[in-house]
Amino acid sequence: MDVPHPEPAPVGLSRRSLLRRGLVGGALLAAGGAGFLALRGGASVPLPADGLLVFSPAQFAVLDAVARRMVRPRTGWPTVDQVGVARAADRIAAMVEPSAQKELRQLLGLFENGLAGFLFGGRTRPFTRLDGEEQDRVLAEWRDSRVAVRRTGYAALRTLVLSGYYQSPSVWPAVGYPGPPGIFADAASQPEWRGGSEPRPDGNGVWHGERLP
Amino acid sequence: MSAGRILTGRDVSVDTTVSCDVAVVGSGAGGSVLAERLTARGLRVVMLEEGGYWTRHSFDGREDHSYPRLYQEMGNRATDDQSVLILQGRSVGGGTTVNWCTSFRTPRRVLDHWRDHHGVKGLTEEALIPHWEVIEKRLHIAEWPLERMNENNRVLWDGCGKLGYSRGLIRRNVNNCANLGYCGLGCPLDAKMSMLVTLIPDAVEKGMTVHANASVRRLLIENRRVTGVEAQILDPETDRPTGIRLTVKARTVAVCGGAINSPALLLRSGLDGDGNVGKRFFIHPVVLTSALMPEPVVPWSGAPQSAYSHHFIERGTGKLGFFLEVPPTMPLIAASVFPGFGEQHQALMEQLPYTQTTIALCHDGLLPEDVGGTVKLRDPAERRVSIEYPLRPFHFEAFRAACKEMARIQFAAGAREVRSFHARPVRIQRAADVDAALDAAPWEAGRVRVATAHLMGGCAMGSDPRSSVVDSTLRYHGLDNLFVVDGSVFPTSLGVNPQETIYGVARWASQFVAAATA
């Protein structure tokens, strides 16, 4: 995957317009959002039982495919399916601003998109229809692209997917991390409540559906 | 005056208007020191913080919980092009709730530079020393003893010692610290003397009211006077606007949101400082190298920062100086910054307990041609702002030189392999190969990981309104009762970790804010 990949100049997309704004530039996103070749005939994968919050099934399939290349099966490591990486990435994306969610959706569309793949790399098949080695090559193309906005897109996608995996405590043993010291859970270390018989206020109480201690 | 309270979004269920003497926007290093001083003078202060109110009761040491609750944009803040990762605090206490406790006074040469090149008046070492002395006592700032230094920092310490590079022990704001290493996720013991557990409670006891989950959207301005601020109340559970408005009427307003949010608030309020607001944004851009050590360094454990080197802080004309420190490394943040993907990335992650990382922080803003980055508004409906920090040839010259020195230090300390943080990682097995390997690496935005946790500038102080935003009393040029009191007023970066400079400058500036409110 470390072979450099010369690439043709993207047709009709000037570097200036690509860099214009946002997570990924306007013109490139227009290509990603266009119906033409976009998300047509991509692979589909089983969806989470509790549904998706941000991404479409097609976008979810792209996340899932990227996750399988970002984290390979490895002895002693939980699998992408055990962690539910693409679902976790969807949940992480649910916490960011709506405008950033829109950019992530466009990025996934662009990544999958045969038109953009053709413009940049000469491929016409959707990312999810490529075999593993070809997918690695596409990831490396984005990472090493001379078009800055593709490197930006690679960084954003990589962070989202890796966060979806490494947020899980089930990964801690694989990387030799014992987790936070017990003092965090030790009631004796918690602040003394001086409110007498009044119930202790629950601080921020609930955060994104999760009950806090 | 009776004690005030710390309120959250849950406590404001209808549109509310309150009045006070001074509205302080932001609860970090600048806002808290200022608010405590004003409260001590008997002024009625209302502090507004857009982040939540989290205390050691809720800190659990988990990265996946802590970044969303305690950091700007859930720890994912970055420049628009994603080339620079920005770690910045966002909760009651601001950055002080999650920083790594490193405390340096401002170098004299930086204060001299501000006087000589930016027309800053009166902000001398002599003026700051009395303030630093009080702060250092209150926050228990003291050198962390060498015998308690963790293995992670010892690599930098030993490597510098072997190579004859200057090195020092870091002073930390801690009291009865248990050397856990979780400062960045909120201290579970209240041992860190952050604003959350020191000056904010001090001021609340004297009558200050704090509104957490209150995001100030604009300053209210009438007839060239600021009359208050208008905030959206955020849902403490989801962090989304509730639609409820909090209006704080004030005789004086102090903007203390830090180097990104302060300029953004001014811009949203129609104040662009003749085009200077959001300019001269400096970040101590950070590059990293990691070392595979023969023995475990357990890089998440122990006081995060205790050794430093300022050996390369001045490198001669035309070059950015840099200083060296050590970051704690936990799995989630490591996964996002360790390079590569697939098996290559997993192999690096598997070695986490043996991996020591060193960082070089570049002293930006001193070169005449270094104008820094820019903070701008995006679409007005968006809460995210546009952050640009163009990386220029002088940055890459410093990045390359810094990575070489860090690699040499790590090898001197016994590293078996040193890795760069390029998107395609460079792996080096011998000290003799350092120069060639790093000279061959690509030094370009988006090809090498750059990060920052030190946000400075954006509302630069100076005597000339044509080139600065606030004057030498931190008053906005042209508005008598509007002040900016935080790291955004620095006209350059500092060359040291910023918290103690912000404390000192805010305490010094409190006299001007008080005088304007009299």
- What's the pLDDT score for residue A195? 61
Return the pLDDT at A104.
94
- For B447-488, the pLDDT digits (tens) are 999 999 999 999 999 999 999 999 999 999 989 999 999 999
Q: Does A11 touch chain B (CB under 8 A)?
A: no
CB contact under 8 A, A212 and B58: yes
| Overall average pLDDT of the B99-109 stretch | 98
Say whether both B27 and B153 belong to one domain: no
> Which pLDDT band holds residue B42 (cuts at 50, 70, 90)?
very high
pLDDT at A27: 43
pLDDT of residue A3: 43
- What is the per-residue pLDDT for A34? 41
* B350 to A207: CB separation less than 8 angstroms, yes or no: no
> Does a structural domain hold residue B378?
no
Judge whether residue A117 has pLDDT over 70: no
B52 → chain A, closest CA residue: A204
Residues B329 and B463 in one domain: no
Tell me: do B427 and B337 sit in the same domain: yes
Mean pLDDT computed over B173-195 = 95
Is B471 among the domain residues? Answer: yes
- Report which of residues B383 and B517 the model is more confident about: B517
Same domain, yes or no: B305 and B249: no
Which token pair is B375?
Answer: 């903070």
Residue B242 located in a structural domain: yes
Q: Residue with structure tokens 């947020």?
A: A167
pLDDT band at A189, cuts 50/70/90? low
Restricting to B residues 362-381, those with a Cβ less than 8 Å away from any Cβ of A are 378-379, 381
Distance, in angstroms, between B396 CA and closest chain A CA? 16
pLDDT beyond 90 at A207: no
Query: What pLDDT sits at residue B406?
Result: 98
Judged by DSSP in three states, B104 sits in coil
Here the tokens at position A187 are: 């009631």
User: Is the same domain home to B339 and B471?
Assistant: no
B61 touching A, CB under 8 A? yes
> Which class for A194: exposed (0-12), middle (13-18), buried (19 or more C-beta within 10 A)?
exposed
Q: How far is CA A191 from CA A187, A200, B206, B359, in A?
A: 9, 11, 22, 35
Centroid of chain to Cα A15:
25
State whether B65 and B162 are in the same domain: no
B215 has pLDDT over 50: yes
Answer yes or no: do B189 and A189 touch at CB < 8 A.
yes
Cβ neighbours of A175 in B, within 8 Å: 331, 334, 349-350, 352-353
Say which range, A115-124, A155-164, B120-129, B319-328, has the weakest mean pLDDT.
Answer: A115-124
pLDDT digits (tens, 9 = 90+) for A165-177: 999 999 999 999 9
In a domain, B281, yes or no: no
Phi, psi of B334 (to 5 degrees): -60, -45
Query: Range with the lowest mean pLDDT among A12-26, A27-41, B225-239?
Result: A12-26
Q: How confident is the model at residue A31 (pLDDT cuts 50, 70, 90)?
A: very low
CB of A137 less than 8 A from some CB of B:
no
Rounded Cα gap, residues B195 and B139, in angstroms? 9
**Could you give the CA distance from residue B485 to residue B463 in angstroms, rounded to a whole number?**
16
**Rounded percentage of chain B residues whose pLDDT exceeds 90:** 95
Instruction: Please tell me which of the candidates A21, A152, A189 has its beta carbon nearest to residue B446.
Output: A152
Q: What is the pLDDT of residues B56-66, one digit of tens each?
A: 888 999 999 99
- What are the tens digits of pLDDT across the range B267-292? 999 999 999 999 999 999 999 999 99
Whether A189 contacts chain B with CB within 8 A: yes
> Can you give the CATH number for the domain in which B291 is found?
3.30.410
CB contact under 8 A, A207 and B53: no
How much is the average pLDDT of B222-226? 95
Does the pLDDT of residue A7 top 70, yes or no? no
For residue B350, give the chain A residue with the closest CA.
A175
pLDDT above 70 for A11: no
Q: Is B357 in the same domain as B231?
A: no
Q: How confident is the model at residue B515 (pLDDT cuts 50, 70, 90)?
A: very high
Chain A contact present for B350, CB below 8 A: yes
Question: Could you tell me if B429 lies within 8 Å of chain A, comparing CB atoms?
Answer: no
Q: What's the whole-number mean pLDDT along residues B99-115?
A: 98
Q: Which residues 6+ apart lie within 8 Å of B359 measured at CB? A: B286, B287, B288, B324, B325, B326, B327, B406, B451
Count of positions (residues) in chain A: 213
The model's confidence at residue A40, banded by pLDDT at 50, 70 and 90, is: low
User: Residue A122 — pLDDT band, cuts 50, 70, 90?
Assistant: low
Instruction: Give the minimum alpha-carbon distance from A176 to chain B in angstroms, rounded to a whole number.
Output: 6
Give the closest-approach CA distance of B274 to chain A in angstroms.
Answer: 24
Residue B450 domain flag: no
Provide the pLDDT confidence category of residue A182 given band limits of 50, 70 and 90.
Answer: confident
**pTM of the entire structure?**
0.92
Q: Are residues B254 and B122 in the same domain?
A: yes
Please check whether residue B73 touches A, CB under 8 A: yes
Please report the ipTM that was assigned to this predicted complex.
0.93
Q: Give chain A positions within 8 Å (CB) of B239.
A: 95
Question: pLDDT tens, B368-399?
Answer: 999 999 999 998 778 899 999 999 999 999 99
CATH number at residue B102: 3.50.50.60
Say whether both B412 and B463 belong to one domain.
no
How many angstroms away from the CA of B127 is the closest CA of chain A? Answer: 38
Lowest-confidence segment of A129-133, A163-167, A177-181, A203-207 by average pLDDT: A203-207
- The answer to whether A159 faces chain B, any CB pair under 8 Å, is yes
**Which residue range(s) make up the domain with B314?**
146-174+286-363+392-444
Q: Which of B349, B426, B444, B449 to mutate: most A Cβ within 10 Å?
A: B349
* Domain ranges for chain A: 15-175, 182-211
Query: Exposed, middle or buried, A181 (CB in 10 Å: 0-12/13-18/19+)?
Result: middle
In a domain, B476, yes or no: yes
For residue B238, the chain A residues in CB contact (below 8 A) are 208
Mean pLDDT of chain B: 96
Closest in A148, A175, A190 to B349, CB measured: A175
- Contact between chains at A70 and B345 (C-beta distance less than 8 A): yes
pLDDT of residue B3: 86
Residue B295, chain A, CB below 8 Å: the answer is no
B69 and B20 in one domain? yes
What residues of A are in contact with residue B73 (Cβ under 8 Å)? 96
Q: Which residue has the higher pLDDT, B130 or A195?
A: B130
pLDDT recorded at residue A115: 58
Predicted local distance difference test score (pLDDT) of residue A36: 40
Shared domain check, B293 and B260: no
Band of pLDDT at residue A1, cut at 50, 70 and 90 = very low
User: Of B81, B236, B344, which has the smallest distance from its Cβ to A152's Cβ?
Assistant: B81
Could you tell me which of B52, B6, B243 has the C-alpha nearest to residue A205? B52
Question: Chain A 100-119, CB below 8 Å of chain B: which residues?
Answer: 100
Q: How far is B82 from chain A (nearest CA, A)?
A: 6
Number of domains in chain B: 2
Binary contact (B61, A163; C-beta < 8 A) = no
Say which of B53, B57, B335 has its CB closest to residue A190: B57
User: Does the structure show a pLDDT above 70 at A199?
Assistant: no
Contacts with B, A 20-49, CB within 8 Å: 21-23
On chain A, the residues whose CB falls within 8 A of the CB of B83 are 152, 155
- Cβ contact B81–A96 (<8 Å): no
Identify all chain A residues contacting B425, using CB atoms and an 8 Å cutoff.
none
Same domain membership, residue B336 and residue B260: no
Residue B217 buriedness (CB in 10 A; 0-12 / 13-18 / 19+): middle
Give CA–CA dist A123/A130, Å, rounded: 10
